[in-house]
Chains A and B, each alone.
Chain A
Amino acid sequence: MTIRAACFVVLMFILSPAWAQSPFDGLTEGDLADGERLFRVHCARCHGIDGAGGEGSNLVRSKLKHAADDEALIALLGDGIPGTGMPGMWTLDENQRTRVAAYVRTLGRLEAEEMPGDPLRGATIYQSSGGCPACHILEGHGTGIGPELTDVGDRRGLEYLRRSMVEPAAAQSQTMGYQDYLTVRVRTADGSVEGLRVNEDAFTVQVRDIGGVVHSFRKDDLTEFEKVFAHSLMPEYGTVLAANDMDDLISYLMSLRSGE
């Protein structure tokens, strides 16, 4: 049993009256260890091996946005979250989902990751040398070319955020396997457009250009259609910001949370 699982069992004992109605009642150390094993097989790819987030949400939190209580978390594991990259885990039975949910709850009882810099200073960098509002919306302010950063500390882990700033082309987020901010270049008889793929099917593609204008094309009308997978419109901030500024900016972004 890991230390984390042991802590959880102790916590369950200490808090037993409060846990009287918990779906986790009766779980053993072995169940928790099994939950951790299942987590590593099914969840770690997106949520990180330690659950601190990656492409998927940071689960090292006492409250989870889509799971108000333990029962909701177990149900969510079965059903997934519509409209997100979170699939339903239909290959796990209810007992297994309960063990995974119990393990996920232990993650929220850990100390949060230690921040590498000063979030207050990072807030200033965000607005000034970082130039982030030019492409991101935060609490309603900025331009929505890249992902909205309100609550980004809930949705991403520290290391993922660092990687997405240093090597943005290599740290592209996905939804159901589709790159969220894929750069595409299209050419028609009337000219060319470069921008981000908004949507696509077998016959059409919708592209948002750097000015925020959405263009829709019939693929039949395109003379060129290139998907640029190893590319991001996001600048490589490792060459823009000093190391300590980068730490401060990441610390600021990780502090952007809701629901706690």
Chain B
Amino acid sequence: MKRLILITLALCANTAFAQVNYERLVNAAKDGDNWLTYSGTYRSERYSPLDQINSGNVGDLKVIWAYQMQPSTQAGSGLVETTPIVVDGIMYLTEPPSTVTALDAGTGKMIWSWTPDIPNEVLSIGFPRVNRGVAVLDDAVYVGTLDAHLVALDAATGAVRWDVEVADNKKGFALTLAPLAIEGKIIVGVSGAEAGVRGFVDAYDSATGERIWRFHTIPGPGDPGSETWQGDAWQTGGGSTWLTGSYDPDLDLLYWTVGNPAPDWNGDVRPGDNLYSCSLIALDPNSGELKWHFQFTPHDTHDWDANQIPVLLDAEFNEEDRKIVALANRNAFFYLLDRETGEFLHGNQYSKQTWASGLDESGRPIVLPGTEPTYEGNLIWPSLQGATNWFSPSYNPETEQFFVATRLMGSVYYKADVEYEEGQPFLGGGEQALSGDDAAGAIRALDVMTGEQQWEFMLHSPPWAGVMATAGGLVFGGSNEGNVFALDARTGKALWDFQTGGAVRTNPMGFAVNGQQRVVSTGGNTMFVFGLE
């Protein structure tokens, strides 16, 4: 009997829920069987070190199990953008708009599911009702909700530990990003620039939900950067922070990206560079103090949020070891910055654009005349959805390749007069995209140190899905037409594809369970888990 009890306890220990302390998160790169943060690691490489599935056998990949989500029937709901987290055989994912579900990662069977009570009249101005995933820390799971709450759930049961309102949804604030968990803190940003909010990044005590600091991405009067705004425009200046950032535990710096200034397309009402819109900011995670910033698109008028994944890497640049952050921006340029100082190291165009002749020595774009939106319409590349968007790039540190899903599409940009009204769209124009046969997509491989394209794999349409490289020499991706595929990382040649029957709008991720490597993607509202056996 005693032996039976011991076996039972051992089994319980094997299925312990989300015991993810901070040290495990720091060392996530060495723990390929699990996927512990939104982008896999604090460096946001979205790289799986597993190689059981490789270029020699990927053709045998098959569906092991699938999970069908039940999105809300509200208009605009139903887009699945989640990246699951996997911890010791349990998968935590979100379903639109803000449900959290725990599944047995071996079988797909549900462990628990939690859905917040979100008002029917919830605002989501300028974006669909989506959620990109959770964070885990210790024995809790953290999720941001569409009505702008941050909620901590018990990892074992889904019971609510605490629930705080981050901001007022009636003003247009929402949380769609996966939070980032660091030591003792949960970091979140907000959506809402299309409603003219004033964006910020927040840190909350992981145990209590108490807010520790807030950094406003649009400086107020007297703050550094306020000279880039005039009048009261800063109050409705946008700068939302709707994508998960990266973290360097050694430098103890957070890297977070900032979205467009508001209103989007009519810059006449907000003269100046409009800091820190369309920027990467480095924050002290203890105080929220700004350490440095780099603005990719000063005075943006094309809605080119900088909400793309900042990838951290260490490499030799000009014969000097540098700590680098790499980012493929929505504005069609690829950047390398020194992540200790924010110094611009390198930049080059990686996708078609018609708005700048290049970057100057400081990385500032040299803007061509006549490229602003107009009342009559002005055709510019890339479209407002950008050369890429929120969906993740991937970086293979072994081969120093940077993979990015690229959108090849232009737009006719319109300007319109606009006045701010709380809780209403604050846009100042719009676009008419050159879609369909006039557009395309591509997965592109760049040499990370030069930004030079090594190969591309063409897609039928501009993608809304990210990529994941693996140690098996593969790059996984997805398409609007429902394809999930694996490319040879050396050549870009397609080695395997699967038709899911629905648009893929997620980033691939990977893990292992019971000794078997798994690759996860979605199609429509269904999540597919692939493996060899």
Given A78, A95, A202, which contacts B460 in the complex, CB threshold below 8 Å? A202
CA distance A202 to B496 in the complex (A): 12
The chain A residue sitting closest to B434, CB to CB, is A177
Which residue on B lies nearest to A201, using beta carbons? B481
Known: A202-B460, A202-B483, A203-B483. A79 touches B75 (CB 8 A): yes
- Kindly state whether residue B416 has any CB partner on chain A within 8 Å: yes
Collect the chain B residues with CB atoms within 8 Å of residue A93's CB. 424-425
Shortest Cβ distance from B375 into A: residue: A41
Chain A 113-151 interface mask (CB, 8 Å, partner B; 1/0): 000000000000000000000000000000000000000
| CB pair B435 A177 closer than 8 Å | yes
CB proximity of B406 to chain A, nearest CB, Å: 13
Known: A41-B416, A93-B425, A203-B485. A174 touches B479 (CB 8 A): no
Answer whether residue A179 sits at the interface, using C-beta atoms and an 8 A cutoff. Answer: yes
On chain A, the residues within 8 Å of B482 by CB distance are: 201
Least distance between B150 CB and chain A CB atoms (Å): 26
Q: How far is the CB of B54 from chain A (nearest CB, A)?
A: 20
* Residue B321 is within 8 A (CB to CB) of chain A in the complex: no
Q: Which residue of A lies closest to B376 (CB)?
A: A41
- In the complex, what distance in Å separates the CA atom of A15 from the CA atom of B494? 64
For the complex, what is the distance from the CA of A227 to the CA of B377, rounded to whole Å? 29
Give per-residue flags for A15-46: 1 if the beta carbon is below 8 A from chain B beta carbons, else 0: 00000000000000000000000000110010
Specify the chain B residue showing the minimal Cβ separation from A85: B436
A19 shortest CB reach to chain B, Å: 25
Is B126 interfacial (CB-CB < 8 Å)? yes
Residue B432, interface by CB 8 Å: yes
A202 touches B479 (CB 8 A): yes
Q: Which residues of A contact B483 (CB under 8 A)?
A: 201-203
Query: Residue A201 contacts which of B416, B433, B460 (CB distance < 8 angstroms)?
Result: B460
Q: Are B437 and A202 in contact (CB under 8 A)?
A: no
Quote the shortest CB–CB distance from A207 to chain B (angstroms): 15
Is B398 located at the chain interface by the 8 A CB criterion?
no
Identify B481's interface contact among A41, A42, A177, A200, CB under 8 A.
A200
C-alpha gap A177/B436 in the complex (Å)? 4
Chain A residue contacts of B439, Cβ below 8 A: 177
Query: Which residues on A sit within 8 Å (CB–CB) of B433?
Result: 177
CA distance A82 to B439 in the complex (A): 20
Cross-chain contact A229 with B459 (CB below 8 angstroms) = no
Q: Once bound together, how far apart are the Cα atoms of A93 and B419, in whole Å?
A: 12
Q: Mark A161-201, 1 if CB is under 8 A from B, else 0.
A: 00000000000001111110010000000000000000011
Our count of residue pairs bridging A and B at CB distance below 8 angstroms stands at 67
Q: Given A41-B414, A201-B460, A202-B459, does the pair A91, B438 have CB atoms closer than 8 Å?
A: no
A182 and B437 alpha carbons, distance in the complex (Å): 10
- What A residues does B414 contact at CB under 8 A? 41
Q: Is B458 an interface residue (CB 8 A)?
A: yes
* Distance between B79 CB and nearest chain A CB, rounded to angstroms: 13
The answer for the CA separation of A220 and B483 in the assembled complex, in Å, is 15
B134-146 toward A: CB 8 Å interface, digit per residue (1/0)?
0000000000000
Cα–Cα, bound, A225→B75 (Å): 39
Q: How large is the interface on A (under 10, 10 to 19, 20 to 34, 35 or more residues)?
A: 20 to 34
Residues of B within 8 A of A13 (CB): none
Q: Determine whether B427 belongs to the interface, using a CB cutoff of 8 Å to chain A.
A: yes
Check if B497 is an interface residue, CB within 8 A of chain A. Answer: yes
Check A202 against B427 for contact (C-beta < 8 Å).
no
Are B434 and A202 within 8 A (Cβ)?
no
Q: Of A45, A90, A92, A95, which contacts B432 at CB under 8 A? A: A45
Give the distance to chain B from A220, nearest Cβ to Cβ, in Å: 8
Partner of B75, one of A78, A178, A203: A78
Tell me if A178 and B430 are in contact (CB < 8 A).
no
Once A41-B416, A78-B75 are accepted as A-B contacts, the answer to whether A91 and B430 lie under 8 Å apart by CB is yes
Q: Smallest Cβ distance from A255 to chain B, in angstroms?
A: 31
Chain A contacts for B416, CB-based, 8 A: 41
Minimal beta-carbon separation of A82 from chain B (angstroms): 11
Please, how many angstroms separate the alpha-carbon atoms of A227 and B414 in the complex? 31
The smallest beta-carbon distance between B493 and chain A, in angstroms, is: 10
Could you tell me the distance between the alpha carbons of A203 and B75 in the complex, rounded to whole angstroms? 32
Please indicate the chain A residues that have their CB under 8 angstroms from the CB of B458 in the complex: 202
**B452-485 vs A, Cβ < 8 Å mask (1 yes, 0 no):** 0000011110000000000000000001011101
8 Å CB contact of A177 from B431, B437, B494 = B437
- Of residues 56 through 107 on chain A, the ones whose CB sits less than 8 Å from some CB of chain B are 75, 78-79, 90-93, 95
CB A47 to nearest CB in B, in angstroms, measures 13
Q: How far is the CA of A179 from the CA of B437 in the complex (A)?
A: 7
Chain A residues within 8 Å of B427, by CB: 91
CA distance A171 to B439 in the complex (A): 19
| Cβ < 8 Å to A, chain B residues 408-438 | 414, 416, 424-425, 427, 429-438
21 inter-chain pairs at a CB distance below 8 angstroms, sorted by A residue, are A41-B414, A75-B75, A90-B425, A91-B425, A91-B429, A91-B430, A93-B425, A95-B424, A174-B437, A176-B435, A177-B433, A177-B436, A177-B438, A179-B436, A179-B437, A200-B460, A201-B460, A201-B482, A201-B499, A202-B457, A202-B479
Q: Assuming A92-B430, A200-B481, what are 16 further A-B pairs, CB within 8 angstroms?
A: A90-B126, A90-B425, A91-B430, A93-B425, A95-B424, A174-B437, A176-B436, A177-B435, A177-B437, A178-B437, A179-B437, A201-B499, A202-B481, A202-B483, A203-B494, A229-B437
10 closest A-B pairs by CB: A177-B436, A177-B435, A201-B481, A178-B436, A91-B430, A93-B425, A203-B497, A93-B424, A202-B459, A201-B460
